[in-house]
Amino acid sequence: MTSTTTTPGSATTAVALSGVTKVYGRGTNAVLALDGVSLDVAPGEFVCLVGASGCGKSTLLNLVAGLDQVSGGQITLAGDANPGLMFQEPALFPWLTVDANVEVPLKLRRLPRAQRRERVAELLRTVHLADFGRKRPHELSGGMRQRVALARTLALDTPVLLMDEPFGALDAMTRDILHDELERIWSERKLSVLFVTHNVREAARLADRILLLSSRPGRIIYSTEVNIPRPRRIDSPEVAAIAAEVTERLRTEVGRHGQ
Protein backbone atom coordinates (compact mmCIF):
# COMPACT_ATOMS: atom_id res chain seq x y z
CA MET A 1 0.00 0.00 0.00
CA THR A 2 1.45 3.34 -1.05
CA SER A 3 0.84 6.08 1.42
CA THR A 4 0.20 9.72 0.72
CA THR A 5 3.47 11.47 0.12
CA THR A 6 4.31 15.11 0.37
CA THR A 7 6.96 16.43 -1.91
CA PRO A 8 8.03 19.95 -1.05
CA GLY A 9 8.96 22.59 -3.54
CA SER A 10 6.90 21.80 -6.63
CA ALA A 11 5.80 25.27 -7.64
CA THR A 12 3.72 24.46 -10.69
CA THR A 13 1.06 22.42 -8.95
CA ALA A 14 -0.59 22.91 -5.59
CA VAL A 15 -2.18 19.48 -5.63
CA ALA A 16 -1.20 16.64 -7.91
CA LEU A 17 -2.84 13.23 -8.09
CA SER A 18 -1.30 10.62 -10.31
CA GLY A 19 -2.99 7.30 -10.89
CA VAL A 20 -4.75 7.37 -7.55
CA THR A 21 -6.68 4.18 -6.84
CA LYS A 22 -8.84 3.41 -3.87
CA VAL A 23 -10.25 0.00 -3.07
CA TYR A 24 -12.58 -0.62 -0.15
CA GLY A 25 -12.82 -4.07 1.37
CA ARG A 26 -10.96 -7.19 0.38
CA GLY A 27 -11.30 -10.21 -1.86
CA THR A 28 -14.67 -10.69 -3.54
CA ASN A 29 -16.23 -7.88 -1.50
CA ALA A 30 -13.68 -5.36 -2.73
CA VAL A 31 -15.15 -2.23 -4.28
CA LEU A 32 -13.07 -0.12 -6.61
CA ALA A 33 -14.01 3.44 -5.64
CA LEU A 34 -11.38 5.31 -7.62
CA ASP A 35 -9.55 3.91 -10.61
CA GLY A 36 -6.40 5.71 -11.64
CA VAL A 37 -7.45 9.28 -11.07
CA SER A 38 -4.90 11.84 -12.21
CA LEU A 39 -5.45 15.55 -11.83
CA ASP A 40 -3.56 18.74 -11.01
CA VAL A 41 -4.63 21.91 -9.29
CA ALA A 42 -2.34 24.84 -10.13
CA PRO A 43 -1.52 27.37 -7.40
CA GLY A 44 -4.40 29.83 -7.17
CA GLU A 45 -6.60 27.71 -9.41
CA PHE A 46 -10.23 26.92 -8.64
CA VAL A 47 -11.05 23.40 -9.81
CA CYS A 48 -14.53 21.92 -9.56
CA LEU A 49 -14.99 18.19 -9.56
CA VAL A 50 -18.43 17.19 -10.80
CA GLY A 51 -19.97 13.76 -10.81
CA ALA A 52 -23.13 11.79 -10.21
CA SER A 53 -23.66 10.12 -6.87
CA GLY A 54 -21.40 7.23 -6.02
CA CYS A 55 -18.49 8.49 -8.05
CA GLY A 56 -16.11 8.68 -5.12
CA LYS A 57 -15.92 12.47 -4.94
CA SER A 58 -15.82 12.50 -1.15
CA THR A 59 -13.39 9.60 -1.10
CA LEU A 60 -11.06 11.60 -3.28
CA LEU A 61 -11.11 14.61 -0.95
CA ASN A 62 -10.54 12.41 2.09
CA LEU A 63 -7.46 10.98 0.40
CA VAL A 64 -6.08 14.40 -0.47
CA ALA A 65 -6.77 15.59 3.10
CA GLY A 66 -4.84 12.62 4.44
CA LEU A 67 -7.82 11.25 6.35
CA ASP A 68 -7.65 8.04 4.37
CA GLN A 69 -4.88 6.06 2.66
CA VAL A 70 -4.63 5.52 -1.09
CA SER A 71 -4.56 1.94 -2.36
CA GLY A 72 -2.32 2.93 -5.26
CA GLY A 73 -0.86 5.97 -6.98
CA GLN A 74 0.41 9.16 -5.47
CA ILE A 75 -0.86 12.40 -4.04
CA THR A 76 1.54 15.30 -3.97
CA LEU A 77 0.97 18.56 -2.18
CA ALA A 78 3.10 21.63 -2.78
CA GLY A 79 5.19 22.75 0.13
CA ASP A 80 4.12 21.63 3.57
CA ALA A 81 0.47 22.18 2.80
CA ASN A 82 -1.94 20.52 5.15
CA PRO A 83 -5.09 21.07 3.14
CA GLY A 84 -8.19 22.43 4.83
CA LEU A 85 -11.33 20.38 4.35
CA MET A 86 -14.93 21.57 4.44
CA PHE A 87 -17.96 19.32 4.45
CA GLN A 88 -21.58 19.63 3.43
CA GLU A 89 -22.42 20.00 7.12
CA PRO A 90 -20.56 22.73 8.98
CA ALA A 91 -19.19 20.13 11.47
CA LEU A 92 -18.76 22.84 14.09
CA PHE A 93 -18.18 21.78 17.67
CA PRO A 94 -21.53 22.44 19.37
CA TRP A 95 -19.95 22.78 22.83
CA LEU A 96 -17.84 25.77 21.75
CA THR A 97 -18.74 29.33 20.84
CA VAL A 98 -18.10 30.61 17.34
CA ASP A 99 -14.88 32.25 18.58
CA ALA A 100 -13.67 29.08 20.24
CA ASN A 101 -14.47 26.99 17.16
CA VAL A 102 -12.32 29.18 14.97
CA GLU A 103 -9.64 29.15 17.65
CA VAL A 104 -9.24 25.35 17.72
CA PRO A 105 -6.74 25.02 14.85
CA LEU A 106 -4.78 28.00 16.24
CA LYS A 107 -4.59 26.35 19.66
CA LEU A 108 -3.47 23.12 18.10
CA ARG A 109 -0.67 25.04 16.42
CA ARG A 110 0.23 26.51 19.83
CA LEU A 111 -0.15 30.15 18.88
CA PRO A 112 0.03 32.47 21.90
CA ARG A 113 -3.28 33.67 23.27
CA ALA A 114 -3.03 37.31 22.15
CA GLN A 115 -2.18 36.27 18.63
CA ARG A 116 -5.02 33.76 18.59
CA ARG A 117 -7.54 36.39 19.60
CA GLU A 118 -6.34 38.70 16.87
CA ARG A 119 -6.51 36.00 14.23
CA VAL A 120 -9.99 34.88 15.28
CA ALA A 121 -11.29 38.44 15.04
CA GLU A 122 -9.68 38.89 11.63
CA LEU A 123 -11.09 35.61 10.30
CA LEU A 124 -14.59 36.36 11.55
CA ARG A 125 -14.42 39.77 9.87
CA THR A 126 -13.42 38.00 6.66
CA VAL A 127 -16.62 35.95 6.71
CA HIS A 128 -18.74 38.89 7.93
CA LEU A 129 -19.45 37.41 11.34
CA ALA A 130 -17.49 39.84 13.51
CA ASP A 131 -20.48 40.38 15.81
CA PHE A 132 -21.30 36.73 16.31
CA GLY A 133 -18.18 35.42 18.03
CA ARG A 134 -19.91 34.78 21.33
CA LYS A 135 -22.86 32.89 19.84
CA ARG A 136 -23.07 29.14 19.78
CA PRO A 137 -23.41 27.29 16.46
CA HIS A 138 -27.04 26.36 17.10
CA GLU A 139 -27.94 30.04 17.40
CA LEU A 140 -26.87 30.70 13.82
CA SER A 141 -28.50 29.97 10.47
CA GLY A 142 -27.18 27.27 8.17
CA GLY A 143 -25.37 29.75 5.94
CA MET A 144 -23.76 31.47 8.91
CA ARG A 145 -22.57 28.14 10.32
CA GLN A 146 -20.99 27.27 7.02
CA ARG A 147 -19.17 30.61 7.08
CA VAL A 148 -17.89 29.86 10.58
CA ALA A 149 -16.66 26.54 9.23
CA LEU A 150 -14.92 28.41 6.42
CA ALA A 151 -13.27 30.76 8.92
CA ARG A 152 -12.16 27.78 11.00
CA THR A 153 -10.67 26.11 7.93
CA LEU A 154 -8.92 29.33 6.91
CA ALA A 155 -7.40 29.41 10.40
CA LEU A 156 -5.23 26.52 9.29
CA ASP A 157 -3.41 29.07 7.12
CA THR A 158 -3.29 26.57 4.34
CA PRO A 159 -2.99 27.47 0.67
CA VAL A 160 -5.12 24.48 -0.34
CA LEU A 161 -8.84 24.31 0.32
CA LEU A 162 -10.81 21.11 -0.25
CA MET A 163 -14.57 21.52 -0.28
CA ASP A 164 -17.03 18.66 -0.27
CA GLU A 165 -20.37 20.06 -1.47
CA PRO A 166 -20.12 22.81 1.14
CA PHE A 167 -23.24 24.66 -0.01
CA GLY A 168 -25.35 21.62 -0.88
CA ALA A 169 -27.66 21.99 2.10
CA LEU A 170 -28.31 25.71 1.73
CA ASP A 171 -31.16 27.55 0.05
CA ALA A 172 -30.49 29.12 -3.36
CA MET A 173 -30.31 32.72 -2.11
CA THR A 174 -27.81 31.95 0.63
CA ARG A 175 -25.83 29.80 -1.77
CA ASP A 176 -25.54 32.63 -4.33
CA ILE A 177 -24.21 34.99 -1.70
CA LEU A 178 -21.74 32.43 -0.39
CA HIS A 179 -20.48 31.89 -3.93
CA ASP A 180 -19.63 35.60 -4.05
CA GLU A 181 -17.99 35.32 -0.61
CA LEU A 182 -15.95 32.28 -1.49
CA GLU A 183 -14.82 33.83 -4.78
CA ARG A 184 -13.68 36.97 -2.95
CA ILE A 185 -11.79 35.05 -0.25
CA TRP A 186 -10.24 32.72 -2.81
CA SER A 187 -8.95 35.61 -4.88
CA GLU A 188 -7.79 37.69 -1.88
CA ARG A 189 -5.91 34.80 -0.31
CA LYS A 190 -4.74 33.23 -3.57
CA LEU A 191 -6.03 29.84 -2.52
CA SER A 192 -5.96 26.69 -4.56
CA VAL A 193 -9.39 25.12 -4.34
CA LEU A 194 -10.59 21.64 -5.15
CA PHE A 195 -14.36 21.90 -4.93
CA VAL A 196 -16.60 18.86 -5.20
CA THR A 197 -20.23 19.30 -6.23
CA HIS A 198 -23.03 17.61 -8.10
CA ASN A 199 -24.48 21.00 -8.98
CA VAL A 200 -23.21 21.74 -12.48
CA ARG A 201 -24.29 25.39 -12.41
CA GLU A 202 -22.43 25.92 -9.20
CA ALA A 203 -19.34 24.46 -10.84
CA ALA A 204 -19.71 26.75 -13.88
CA ARG A 205 -20.24 29.73 -11.56
CA LEU A 206 -17.09 29.11 -9.53
CA ALA A 207 -14.52 27.10 -11.45
CA ASP A 208 -11.52 27.94 -13.56
CA ARG A 209 -11.71 24.36 -14.70
CA ILE A 210 -14.37 21.66 -14.39
CA LEU A 211 -13.49 17.99 -14.19
CA LEU A 212 -16.09 15.29 -14.63
CA LEU A 213 -15.68 12.13 -12.59
CA SER A 214 -17.32 8.94 -13.83
CA SER A 215 -19.19 6.63 -11.48
CA ARG A 216 -18.10 3.19 -10.28
CA PRO A 217 -15.21 3.25 -10.64
CA GLY A 218 -14.38 6.94 -10.42
CA ARG A 219 -12.26 8.14 -13.30
CA ILE A 220 -11.77 11.59 -14.84
CA ILE A 221 -13.63 11.46 -18.16
CA TYR A 222 -13.94 15.08 -19.18
CA SER A 223 -12.27 18.37 -18.49
CA THR A 224 -13.15 21.86 -19.57
CA GLU A 225 -11.76 25.34 -18.94
CA VAL A 226 -14.23 27.99 -17.86
CA ASN A 227 -13.08 31.25 -19.37
CA ILE A 228 -15.93 33.46 -18.27
CA PRO A 229 -14.65 36.70 -16.72
CA ARG A 230 -15.27 37.23 -13.00
CA PRO A 231 -17.29 38.25 -11.13
CA ARG A 232 -19.88 35.91 -12.58
CA ARG A 233 -23.55 35.52 -11.86
CA ILE A 234 -25.01 32.06 -11.62
CA ASP A 235 -27.90 33.11 -13.86
CA SER A 236 -25.75 34.56 -16.66
CA PRO A 237 -26.10 32.99 -20.13
CA GLU A 238 -22.37 32.15 -20.26
CA VAL A 239 -22.57 30.15 -17.04
CA ALA A 240 -25.73 28.46 -18.29
CA ALA A 241 -24.02 27.49 -21.56
CA ILE A 242 -21.09 25.84 -19.78
CA ALA A 243 -23.48 24.14 -17.37
CA ALA A 244 -25.54 22.77 -20.25
CA GLU A 245 -22.45 21.33 -21.88
CA VAL A 246 -21.27 19.62 -18.69
CA THR A 247 -24.78 18.39 -17.89
CA GLU A 248 -24.94 16.75 -21.31
CA ARG A 249 -21.74 14.83 -20.56
CA LEU A 250 -22.98 13.95 -17.10
CA ARG A 251 -26.27 12.57 -18.46
CA THR A 252 -24.43 10.45 -20.99
CA GLU A 253 -22.32 9.09 -18.15
CA VAL A 254 -25.34 8.37 -15.93
CA GLY A 255 -27.18 6.77 -18.86
CA ARG A 256 -24.27 4.39 -19.38
CA HIS A 257 -25.16 2.82 -16.01
CA GLY A 258 -28.79 2.30 -16.99
CA GLN A 259 -28.01 -0.03 -19.88
Partner 1 sequence: MASDTLTSSARTDAEITGLDALEIAGRDKEVSRGARIWAATWPKLAALAIAIAAWQIVVWTGWKPPYSLPPPLEVGRELVAQAQGPQLWDGLVTTLQRAALGYVFSVAVGLLLGLAVARSTVLRAAIGSMITALQTMPSIAWFPLAILLFELSEKAIFFVVVLGAAPSIANGVISGVDYVPPLLKRAGRNLGARGLNLYRYVIAPAALPAIVAGLKQGWAFSWRSLMAGELLVSGISQTSLGAQLTYSRELSDAPWLLSTMIVILVVGLVVDAAFGAADKAIRRRWGVLDQAGQ
Binding site for partner 1 (CB under 8 A): 44, 62, 65, 67, 82, 84-85, 87, 89, 91, 93-96, 104-105, 107-109, 128-129, 132, 136-141, 143-144, 152-153, 155-156, 173-174, 177, 180-181, 183-184, 187, 229-231
CA atoms of 182 and 180, how far apart (whole Å): 6
Nearer to partner 1, 84 or 218 (CB): 84
Judge whether 42 and 191 are in contact, CB under 8 Å.
no
Task: Tell me if residue 246 falls in helix, strand or coil.
Answer: helix
Nearer to partner 1, 23 or 100 (CB): 100
DSSP state at residue 101: H
Judge whether 238 and 228 are in contact, CB under 8 Å.
yes
Query: Residue 63: which of 196, 187, 176 has the closest Cα?
Result: 196
**Shortest Cβ 208–partner 1 spacing (Å):** 9
Give helix 142-154 / helix 98-108 axis angle, nearest 10°: 20
Nearer to partner 1, 147 or 201 (CB): 147
CA atoms of 198 and 96, how far apart (whole Å): 31
Nearer to partner 1, 33 or 250 (CB): 33
Nearer to partner 1, 50 or 61 (CB): 61
Q: Report the b/e string of 229-238 with b at 16+ CB within 10 A.
A: eeebebeeee
Nearer to partner 1, 191 or 250 (CB): 191
**Shortest Cβ 237–partner 1 spacing (Å):** 18
**Shortest Cβ 21–partner 1 spacing (Å):** 21
**Shortest Cβ 108–partner 1 spacing (Å):** 4
Category of 203 on φ-ψ map: left (φ > 0), alpha (ψ -120 to 50) or beta:
alpha
Q: Which amino acid is at 48?
A: C
**Shortest Cβ 15–partner 1 spacing (Å):** 15
**Shortest Cβ 75–partner 1 spacing (Å):** 15
